[in-house]
Amino acid sequence: MAPDNRIALCPGTFDPVTYGHLDVISRASAMFETVIVAVVNVPWRKGQTLFTAEERIGFVKNATRALPNIEIETFSSLLVDFARDKGAMAIVKGLRAISDFEYELEMDQLNRRQAPEIESVYLMASPKYSFLRSSGVKELATFGGEISDLVPDEVAALLKERLGR
Ligand code: PNS
């Protein structure tokens, strides 16, 4: 399928989705006609996820109900192959800090070699979320830290249930 410049992918593991991810997804939804949230579903990648793919999808679905142009799917192939299947022209990601830049530059160049027709588009993290990552939220949840302003309520509740001591 030829890339369609109205379609973008927002990819990630989303284990779990945070307000930082949701900020990028909602900003992308204002820029493109259709945004497909692409949830990685490769159990052996980066070790086990805390939440199943179904749970991770459910969190994103519940948190994006107000956005009319979001679709949510899992993928277990190369990201660019999934983008090609969906006809997406853009892969939209958030950039927080210099550390993200190095990783994302590498990802962009790998992806570009495989699929030069697909552009990666980076949105700068909103300042209030520039420190936020899923692994940090899980660490806070493990030791009883305050996470209610970092993830949706249902995510916070399940994190506390699964990780709280
Ligand atoms: O940081 P995340 O959320 O785990 O990122 C996941 C993803 C897929 C966005 C990132 O790993 C990426 O850009 N990968 C490109 C290379 C690729 O296609 N890997 C296979 C993933 S199933």
Whole-model pTM? 0.95
Q: What's the pLDDT score for residue 25?
A: 98
| 78 close to ligand 1 (CB < 6 Angstrom) | yes
Q: How far is the CA of 111 from the centre of ligand 1 (A)?
A: 10
Distance 103 CA to ligand 1 centre (A): 11
- Cβ of residue 67 lying under 6 Å from some atom of ligand 1: no
**What is the pLDDT, as a whole number, of residue 9?**
98
- Report whether residue 107 contacts ligand 1, using a CB cutoff of 6 Å: yes
54-89, pLDDT tens digit by residue? 999 999 999 999 999 999 999 999 999 999 999 999
Sorting pLDDT into bands at 50, 70 and 90, what band is 1?
Answer: confident
Name the residue with tokens 């990648």.
45
**pLDDT tens-digit readout, 90-128:** 999 999 988 899 999 999 999 999 999 999 999 999 999
In this structure, how many other beta carbons lie within 10 angstroms of the beta carbon of residue 40? 20
DSSP letter string over the chain?
---EEEEEEEEE--TT--HHHHHHHHHHHHHSSEEEEEEE--TTTTS--SS-HHHHHHHHHHHTTT-TTEEEEEE-S-HHHHHHHHTEEEEEEEE-SHHHHHHHHHHHHHHHHH-TTSEEEEEEPPGGGTT--HHHHHHHHHTT---TTTS-HHHHHHHHHHH--
- Contact call for residues 128 and 46 (beta carbons, < 8 A): no
